[in-house]
Amino acid sequence: MEAPDFKRVIRGYDPEAVEQAWAETDRQLSEANAVNKELRLQINSLREQNSEWGNRLKYYEQIEMDLRDALLSAQRIANQLKEEATGQANELLQSARCESETLLYEATRISELKEVEAKTLLINKQAEIRQIEEQIRGLVDQKTELQTLVDQAIHYLEMVKGLLEPATVSTKSPVQVSSEQDSE
């Protein structure tokens, strides 16, 4: 706002010019006050918006911090779960290895025992077969001896029969008598 330039008159300033200047100054002051009021309203509105945006920013910063914490927590939990799962997998693998080694050892031991039992049984059966073969040879020898004795007995009986029947003439030939006796 500029300073008014008043004309000098005899008794001071021109009252009309002063009045106009005052009116113009009053109008400019009213306009300036209105602009000032509007600017203050805008400043207050901007302050409220700034405060609201500041609150939102704090809210979003808190959300960001919470999300970071949650992410770090999730990563820690994931790492912990991974370590636990790896540990459990290693334990299961170790347990399975031990169990398979135990089963393999037991199967080998049982197989060896069964093999020894089978060999022992085979040796026993072979011994039994040799005994039976010896008994059979002995029985064959006894049969041969008995056959010889039977043949001798038949021969002696024929001789005795021939001695006992001298007066009776036999119509049968000695070959027929022998063959009849063999068939009996």
What pLDDT is stored for residue 143 in this prediction?
Answer: 92
What pLDDT is stored for residue 19 in this prediction?
Answer: 85
Residue 165 has pLDDT above 90, yes or no: no
Residue 6 has pLDDT above 70, yes or no: no
Q: Is residue 31 part of a domain?
A: yes
The C-alpha atoms of residue 159 and residue 173 are separated, in whole angstroms, by 14
Q: Is residue 102 part of a domain?
A: yes
Q: Which residues pair with 13 in a beta bridge?
A: 8
Q: Is residue 137 part of a domain?
A: no
Q: Which residues pair with 9 in a beta bridge?
A: 12
More confident: 167 or 126: 126
What pLDDT is stored for residue 179 in this prediction?
Answer: 56
Residue 146 has pLDDT above 60, yes or no: yes
Q: Identify whether the C-beta of residue 6 lies closer than 8 Å to the C-beta of residue 21.
A: yes
- Count CB atoms within 10 A of the CB of residue 179: 10
Residue 170 has pLDDT above 60, yes or no: no
More confident: 4 or 91: 91
Cβ-defined contacts of 147-154 (< 8 Å, 24+)? 154/178, 154/181
Q: Domains in the chain: how many in total?
A: 1
**Domain with 44 in it:** 8-118
* pTM for this prediction: 0.39
Q: What is the DSSP letter of 75?
A: H
* Burial class (CB within 10 angstroms; exposed 0-12, middle 13-18, buried 19+) of 115: exposed
Q: Identify whether the C-beta of residue 16 lies closer than 8 Å to the C-beta of residue 6.
A: no
More confident: 83 or 12: 83
Residue 177 has pLDDT above 90, yes or no: no
Q: Is residue 178 part of a domain?
A: no
The C-alpha atoms of residue 44 and residue 38 are separated, in whole angstroms, by 10
DSSP H or E run through 83: helix 15-164
Sign of CA dihedral 51, 57, 62, 65: negative
Residue 51 has pLDDT above 80, yes or no: yes
